[in-house]
Homo-oligomer: A and B are copies of this chain.
C-alpha cells in the first residue's frame, strides 16, 4: 500500500482490482487510505455515446500534464458481466499517455449487480486520490441511472455534447443539464455547433433566473482531436473549484460520501439476502411469479428472515 501511496502504477492497478473484485481486504484498505484522501480535484465527464468523451479525456490529460499535474483517469464503460473489463484493454493500450508515469488510466466495467457502480467508482477514485493524483477524471456514459449519478457526484461535472446529436432537448431529457457545472460542445468544427452553443446558453440563462448568485455553467467549444479549446475547459474547471471554495467542496464530497456509504449499507443487506436468505428469496420469487404472492409481501417475508 505504501507503494501505491508513492504512486507506483502497478500497485495502484492492483488496489483498483481489489475494488472491482469487491475483495474482503477492501475494508482494511479503505481504512488505511482514508487519512490520505481529499487532495485530488475529482472531475466527472459525461455525455451520450459518440460525443467524444474518450478523446476529450485524453486531451484534458495532455493539458493537465503540461502544467505538471499528476492525473488519474477512471473510465466507467458499459461492459458485459461476462467479459468484464477485458474488451476495454485496447483502449488503455491505445492511449498516448499509457507510458507516462504521471498518469494512471483505468477502465471499470459498469455492469454487474445493481448499484455496484455506486460504491465501486468512489472507492477507485479514493485509491487514485490517495496515490497522489492532483486530478481524477471520472468518465461515465451519460445514459443510464447509475452512470449519470456517478459522474454527477464529482467535485466538478463536465457535460459533453456534440452538434447534431439531438442537442439540448436530448440532454435535458437525459437529466444532463441539471448536473452540469461546465458544458462543452465538442466537435465544434461541425455544422450546427453554433446553434447547439446558442441553445445551451439559452437553457442555462433560463435556469439562471431562479438563483441569481449561483454558478452559471459556461458553455465552451472544443475540438478534442486537435486540442482546440481544451485549455479553456481546464480554466473553467479550475474556476469552478475555486468558486466552490472549502465549504462548497466539503458539501459535494459529503454528498458523494453519503451515496457511497448508503450503497455499501445496501450491499451489506444484499449479501445477507444472497447468503442465508438466498434459497428463501428463490422460493418467494417463485410464489410471486406464479401470482400466489405479491412482491411487497415477499419483500416483507425476506426482511423478517433471521440473518
Shortest CB distance A136–B (Å): 15
Interface string of A263-307 (1 = CB under 8 A from B): 111111110010000000110111011111111111110110000
A257–B144 contact, CB under 8 A? no
Check: A40 CB closer than 8 A to any chain B CB. Answer: no
Cα distance A1–B77 in the bound complex, in angstroms: 42
Binds B, one of A5-13, A82-90, A190-198, A222-230: A82-90
Total contacting residues, chain A, CB less than 8 A:
87
Shortest CB distance A169–B (Å): 7
Q: What residue of chain B has the Cβ atom nearest to residue A85's Cβ?
A: B173
Interface string of A52-96 (1 = CB under 8 A from B): 000000000000000000000000011111110001100000000
Q: Residues of B contacting A123 with CB < 8 Å? A: 295
B290–A172 contact, CB under 8 A? no
Q: If the complex has contacts A78-B175, A82-B175, are A31 and B297 also in contact, measured as CB distance less than 8 A?
A: yes
B266–A288 contact, CB under 8 A? no
Main secondary structure, interface of A, reads helix
B285–A34 contact, CB under 8 A? no
A261–B143 contact, CB under 8 A? no
Shortest CB distance A288–B (Å): 4
User: Which A residues between 165 and 186 are near B, CB-CB below 8 angstroms?
Assistant: 169, 172-175, 177-178
A293–B34 contact, CB under 8 A? yes
Cα distance A33–B48 in the bound complex, in angstroms: 38
Binds B, one of A98-106, A234-242, A247-255: A247-255
Check: A118 CB closer than 8 A to any chain B CB. Answer: yes
Of A48, A123, A143, which is in contact with the most chain B CB atoms at under 10 Å from its CB? A143
Q: What residue of chain B has the Cβ atom nearest to residue A83's Cβ?
A: B172
Cβ contact of A255, chosen from B27, B114, B285, cutoff 8 A: B285
- Besides the known contacts A49-B143, A261-B295, 4 further A-B residue pairs in the complex with CB atoms under 8 A apart: A26-B296, A80-B175, A111-B175, A144-B146
User: Contact residues of A with B, CB < 8 Å?
Assistant: 26-27, 30-31, 33-38, 48-49, 77-83, 87-88, 110-112, 114-119, 122-123, 141, 143-149, 169, 172-175, 177-178, 250, 253-270, 273, 281-282, 284-286, 288-300, 302-303
The 6 closest A-B pairs by CB, nearest first: A144-B144, A258-B285, A264-B299, A80-B175, A253-B289, A257-B288
